[in-house]
Structure 1
Amino acid sequence: MGQAETILSLFKQNEERAFKLLFETYHDTLLLFANQMLDDPEAAKDVVQNCFVDFWVHRRFANLPNGLEQYIFQSVKHAALNHLRGEKRRKKYYIAAKEDEQENLNADETEWNDEALYKALNELPEERRKIFLMICLEGMKYQEVAEKLQISINTVKKQMGRSFKFLREKLQKNIFITLFLLWTKCRKKM
Structure 2
Amino acid sequence: MHKIFFSQKKLIKLLKKGDARAYSYIVDLYYKKLCDYASNLARDNFKSEDIVQNVIIRMWQQREKLSSNVSIKNYLYKSVYNEFIDQYRKEIAVTKLEKKYIEGLDIVIEIQDVTETNRLMTLVQNEIERLPPKCKETFLMSKQEGLTYVEIAEYQNVSVNTVEKQMVKAFSILRKKMKEKIVSFIFLLFDIKKP
- Which TM-score band applies after superposition, normalised by the shorter structure? 0.5 to 0.7
Q: Does 1:74 align with 2:100?
A: no
Q: Percent identity?
A: 17
User: CA separation of 1:52/1:84 partners in 2, compared to 1, >3 Å: closer, same or farther?
Assistant: same
The one-letter code matched in structure 2 to 1:118 is E
Kindly report which structure 2 residues correspond to 1:130-141, keeping only aligned pairs within 5 A, or say none. 130=156, 138-140=164-166
Gaps of 5+ in 2: 113-142, 174-181, 191-195
CA 1:28 to 1:135, structure 2 compared with 1: closer, same or farther past 3 Å? Answer: closer
Q: Deviations over 1:6-33 (max 9, x none)?
A: 6335436771000000000000000111
- Of structures 1 and 2, the one scoring higher in RCO (CA 8 A, sep 6+) is 2
Are 1:64 and 1:71, in contact at CA under 8 Å, matched by a contact in 2? no
Task: Give the Cα separation in 2 of the matches to 1:107 and 1:26.
Answer: 56
The structure richer in helix per residue is: 1
User: Does the Cα contact within 8 Å between 2:101 and 2:184 map onto a contact in 1?
Assistant: no
Whether the aligned pair in 2 keeps the contact of 1:30 and 1:48 (CA below 8 Å) is yes
How many pairs are equivalent? 138
TM-score by length of 2: 0.54
Matches within 5 A, 1:32-51: 32-51=36-55
Structure 1 residues 22 and 94, CA gap change in structure 2 (3 angstroms): same
Q: Does 1:117 align with 2:144?
A: yes
Superposition map of 1:143-182 within 5 A: 177-179=185-187
Q: How much does 1:65 deviate?
A: 3.3
Residue 107 and residue 130 in structure 1: after superposition, are their counterparts in 2 closer, same or farther (change >3 A)?
A: farther
Structure 1 residue ranges, 4+ long, deviating more than 4 angstroms after superposition: 1-6, 134-137, 179-182
Deviation at 1:87, TM superposition (A): 1.0
Quickly say closer, same or farther: Cα 1:135–1:35, change in 2 above 3 A: closer
Distance apart, 1:56 and its partner CA: 0.4
Q: TM-score, normalised by structure 1?
A: 0.56
Aligned amino acid, residue 165 of structure 2: G
Letter of the aligned partner of 1:105 in structure 2?
V
The answer for the alignment partner of 1:17 in structure 2 is 21
Q: Which structure has the greater CA radius of gyration?
A: 2
